[in-house]
Amino acid sequence: MDSVRIGLLGCGTVGTQVARLLHEQEDDLAARAGARLSLVGIAVRNVQAPRDPVIDRALLTADARALIAQSDIVIELIGGIEPARTYILDAFAHGASVVTGNKALLAAHGPELYDAAAAANVDLYYEAAVAGAVPVVYGLRESLTGDRITAVLGIVNGTTNYILDEMTTRGLSFDQALADAQRLGYAEADPSADVDGLDAAAKCAILASLAFHSRVSLDDVHVHGIRNITADDIASATRHGYVVKLVATARRRRRGIEAHVGPTLVPRNHPLAGVHGPFNAIVVEAEAADRLMFYGRGAGGAPTASAVLSDVVAAASHKVSGGHAPRELIYADLPVLSPDQSESRFQVEVDVEDTIGVLTKVASVFARHDVSISSVWQDAEEKVVDATGMPVCRLTVTTHVANQADLEATMEELDESPFVSGVRHVIRVEES
C-alpha cells in the first residue's frame, strides 16, 4: 500500500489544523505510518464559506457520504450526535477506520460504535475526545493495561478551569470570569456544556470505561457544574488551604464504580491544585504504578490536531502492516454506583446561633447519621447577624470519608434544627 486515503469530516478549528499538519508534516507522517497519508477530501456543510488559506479549496465537498466511500480512514470532527453517528457507522460499513474527537457521541453511543468497529475489523480511535493533546486515552488503554487502576481524577475542561483559576487568582466573580473566558474564545456564547459540567461528564464516562473495563455512559455520571460557586466560596477555600477545581472522578469502590463531576476542594499541595488557566490534567492512581499525572492543553486547534494525527498514524500503520487498535474491553462489567452510594470527604458551611454548647448539638447531628468529623473551624472574625438579629457564627466542618446519603441526611436535619440559621454549601474534598 503506497498511500492511505484520508477523508476529513469537518473543517473548524481542529479540522483546519489537521489538514495543515497532514500537509506540512507529510514526509515524517509517511515514514511513521509506512505509507503516504493522502487527504482526499474535506466534507463541510458550506463549501463557499471563507476558510483559512492553508485549506486547499479543491478538496472541499458537501457530499460526506461520497467522501466516506472513497476513504481508508475517516476523521470525524463535526461533533454532536447526528449526522456524526451515521457517518461513522457508514465508514465502518465501507471498511474504513475512524478517528474521532467526539466525546458526546462516545459517551452516549460508544457501545454501538465499538461493536460496529470490531464487527468490521477496523479501528476506532478517539484520543482527541478527552483532554485534547494529553495522551490519556492511550495511557489508560495501552500504557497501563498491565496494571490495576483504582482512581482517575481529572481536570478535563479547560474553560471551567480557566474560570475557577481567574476567580482564585484575581478575585473575579463567576460572571466576570465567564465573560473573560468568552472574550478569549475558551467559552462558547452558550457556555452550558462547559459550566454545567456536561463536557467533563462525557469525558469522565470515557475515562471510567477505560480504567475499569466496564461500560460507563454519560447517564451514569453524577454531574454538578460551577455556576453556583461564589467569590465567597473561593475565599473560604483559600483560607482553609484548598483550591476549588471542577474534578471528574472515577473511582473503584468495593461495590462498583463511582463516577461524578463537580466542584471539589483540592488541597493546595495536590498535583491538580497547580493546574492553571485552560490547562487539563488527569491523575491516575494504579496499584503497581502508584500515582501518575498527565498534563497539557485540553483544547485548541493545533493541540487537538496533535492527538488526532497520532491516531491517524496508528490507524494507517494497521492498514499498511496489519493489526488493529485495542478493542473495547468490558470484561470486568462492574456496576456503576448511584450517587447515594458514593463516598467522599465533604466540607459543609453552617451558620449556627452563637451560644454555649452549640458545637455539641452540631456534632451530635453528624454522629446520629454516622458521619465522622475531621475538623471544625469557627470563624471568630466573621460574626454575622441573621434576619432576626440573632448573632450567628459560621462553622466550617470537614468530614472524614462519608457516604453521600448519610451526609445529605445530616444536612437535612441541620437545616431543620432551631440552632441553625443556614446551611451555606456542601462541597467534596479531595485527599492530598
Per-residue binder mask for ligand HSE (CB under 6 A), 411-430, x = binder: --------------------
Q: Which of 103, 203, 245, 319 is catalytic?
A: 203
User: Which one of the spans 155-163, 167-175, 354-362, 414-422 is the region binding ligand HSE (CB under 6 A)?
Assistant: 155-163
Q: Is the Cβ–Cβ distance between 46 and 110 less than 8 Å?
A: no
CB of 77 to ligand HSE, least distance (A): 12
Q: Residues 238, 240, 241, 246: is their CA dihedral positive or negative? A: negative
203 is catalytic: yes
Residue with cell string 469537518? 10
Is residue 194 involved in binding ligand HSE (CB under 6 A)?
A: yes
- Give backbone dihedrals phi and psi of 196, rounded to 5 degrees, phi first: -90, 5
3 state DSSP class of 285? strand
Q: Angle 84-93/103-120 helices, nearest 10 degrees? A: 10
Question: Which of 113, 244, 299, 313 is the binder for ligand HSE (CB under 6 A)?
Answer: 299
Query: Within a 13 Å sphere around the CA of 204, how many CA atoms are in the beta-carbon half?
Result: 30
Closest to ligand HSE by CB, 181 or 352: 181
CA dihedral 249, 253, 256, 262 (to 10 degrees): -20
Question: Which of 10, 139, 298, 303 is the binder for ligand HSE (CB under 6 A)?
Answer: 298
Question: Which of 199, 233, 311, 406 is the binder for ligand HSE (CB under 6 A)?
Answer: 199
Closest to ligand HSE by CB, 33 or 193: 193
Closest to ligand HSE by CB, 246 or 325: 246
Q: Is the Cβ–Cβ distance between 204 and 136 less than 8 Å?
A: no
Closest to ligand HSE by CB, 203 or 319: 203
Per-residue binder mask for ligand HSE (CB under 6 A), 157-186, x = binder: xxx--------------------------x
400 vs 374: CA distance, rounded Å: 5
Residue with cell string 473511582? 251
348 vs 9: CA distance, rounded Å: 48
Closest to ligand HSE by CB, 7 or 301: 301
CA-only gyration radius of the chain, Å: 24
CB of 251 to ligand HSE, least distance (A): 22
Per-residue binder mask for ligand HSE (CB under 6 A), 44-73, x = binder: ------------------------------
Q: Is the Cβ–Cβ distance between 289 and 98 less than 8 Å?
A: no
Q: Where along the sequence are the contacts to ligand HSE (CB under 6 A)?
A: 157-159, 186, 194, 199, 298-299
Active site members: 203
